Amino acid sequence: MGAVLVSQDARGVATVTLNRPERRNAFDDALIRALDRLFADLGRDPAVRVVVLTGAGSAFSAGADIDWMRRMAGYSKRENRADAMGLARMLRRLDTLPKPTVARVNGAAYAGAIGLVCASDVAIAATEATFAISEVRLGLLPATIAPYVTATIGVRQARRFNLTGEAFGADEALRIGLVHKIAPLAQLDAAVGAIVDALLQGAPGAQAKAKRMIAAVAGKPITPAVMVRTAGAIAEARAAPEGREGLAAFLEKRKPRFRA
């Protein structure tokens, strides 16, 4: 049994499980490298339609592994920078994965694990889950996760939770936009399943392009260049095989071929 498990069902739903329950799924450099490689492989696999990320046992992830932190304390500045870049690359890989991603937050999500939640397209948490961006309480910074956290919960909420390091529950996570939906742990799989079913209704190519479009226009003013880019994107989509098939299926009152 490895530190990361992956399974895939007949619909193309790949479930990635952080599998260190004895350490509350805390991650170290080896686990980060494994996730980076796995996300790259899943992104290239045409049979994969949706990726679900979760944790084994009672926690989603407690963030950095304590033994890894001890090793980092002895690193030089250069070694620490290289080490931190590993996490930054993995989060970027998840954020730009050309497949819909769902964080199934089954329990505690702390520190760097908040980055995994924010880099996923959809996040659904158990009502029992707890959260904390706790780095400042150790004299550290939530730096590599900052772009994803700030984009997800906004500057105002990021200022509060990045600076206090306080723990908060699923209700608060929902209120500030960290997660999209919460459900009792016994109903979490049903809630995740409903989102997965909805994602499987979309065209894979269109979903990948939609993710890129969101990244391209986020936070930007609606300039003529943006208007030209977005108009060009929909024009291309209408002429593409998926667009033609989707429209034909709608007019013929049938299910399009790209649906699972």
The string of pLDDT tens digits covering residues 157-176 is 999 999 999 999 999 999 99
Predicted confidence at residue 70, as pLDDT, reads: 83
- Span 56-108, pLDDT tens digits: 999 999 998 888 888 877 888 888 898 889 999 999 999 999 999 999 999 99
Short-list 194, 216, 205, 92, CA closest to 145: 92
Predicted confidence at residue 42, as pLDDT, reads: 98
- What residues form DSSP beta bridges with 182? 125
Predicted confidence at residue 260, as pLDDT, reads: 65
| Residue 249, Cβ density class (10 Å: 0-12 exposed, 13-18 middle, ≥19 buried) | middle
Predicted confidence at residue 73, as pLDDT, reads: 78
Helix axes 112-119, 77-95, angle to 10 degrees: 30
Predicted confidence at residue 157, as pLDDT, reads: 98
Exactly one of 22, 79, 128, 135 is catalytic; name it: 135
CATH architecture of 4-199: Alpha-Beta Complex (3.90)
Short-list 92, 98, 139, CA closest to 118: 92
Predicted confidence at residue 192, as pLDDT, reads: 98
Model pTM? 0.95
Q: Which residues of the chain have pLDDT under 50?
A: none
Per-residue exposure over 156-166, b if at least 16 CB sit within 10 Å of its own CB, e if not: ebbeebbeebe
Catalytic, 135? Answer yes
Coil/strand/helix, residue 143: coil
* Residue 44: how many other CB atoms lie within 10 Å: 9
Predicted confidence at residue 167, as pLDDT, reads: 98
The rounded distance, in Å, linking the Cα atoms of 246 and 244 is: 6
* Chain center to CA of 126: 16
